[in-house]
Amino acid sequence: MNKLDGTDEPNQRVASALDRATQQTGVGFAAEVAEASGRYDRAEDIVGLWLGLGLAAWVWFALPDAADAGPGSWAGVTEGGKFLAMAGALIAGFVGGAVAASYVPAIRRPFIPRREIHACVERAADAALARELVTRSNPATDERARVLLFFVSVYERRAVVLADASTLERLGPTGVETLCRELTDRLAEGDIDAALAAVVQRGVSMLAA
């Protein structure tokens, strides 16, 4: 996961918005952008399996049978030879498809169940909130940190907004849902930094109300 670290100009704008929001509200505003929230190995295997089966089927129909070959023909392949060729095509297709899907995420996306995407993003967002709470807590005073986290997972095209119990109470029962919906709508415009900056300001307004 890649945190917004302010190393370039757009991210610096978001980092500044987070700092201002924290100072204005007393709540630790945080944002994290992940390239992906899950590894999705199973989807890669499925891509490899389908490609392997397709290659094996092609081999079965493409290679001529020995019985169909004319006298003196060198093209005839025995059933045993075809079986070995199919097995080789299956293995090669499986490995090649899995590797291709690992390097080209768009290939594996259609094979990932929505519930798996949802679970991976939620788990990654929960872990990000836990890290923020630990980082911002003060062991000397035993004071629990207050955090409002905006989490974006680019590959899954999902956004999550999470808050600690105290901040959640300040926002009200539907506050987090409202922020998450607004962040999702703004992300659809294609500018992650602009979406985060705008929703951070929206969070400040809601906490100040």
Strands 28-34 and 147-153 turn out to be: parallel
Secondary structure E strands in the chain: 2-3, 28-34, 147-153, 158-163
Residue 10 has pLDDT above 60, yes or no: no
Rounded Cα distance, 186 and 188, in Å? 5
Using one digit for the tens of pLDDT, what is the confidence trace for 38-91?
A: 888 888 899 999 999 999 998 888 877 766 655 545 566 777 888 888 899 999
Using one digit for the tens of pLDDT, what is the confidence trace for 93-112?
A: 999 999 998 888 888 888 88
Residue 117 has pLDDT above 90, yes or no: yes
Residue at 121: amino acid letter: V
Using one digit for the tens of pLDDT, what is the confidence trace for 161-182?
A: 999 999 999 998 799 999 999 9
The contacts of residue 172 (CB under 8 Å, 6+ apart) are 206
Q: Are 42 and 11 in contact (CB under 8 A)?
A: no
What DSSP line would sit under 44-63, residue for residue? HHHHHHHHHHHHHHHHHHHS
Whole-prediction pTM = 0.78
The total number of residues shown for the chain amounts to: 209
Q: Are 125 and 30 in contact (CB under 8 A)?
A: no
pLDDT of residue 94: 93
Rounded Cα distance, 102 and 43, in Å? 9
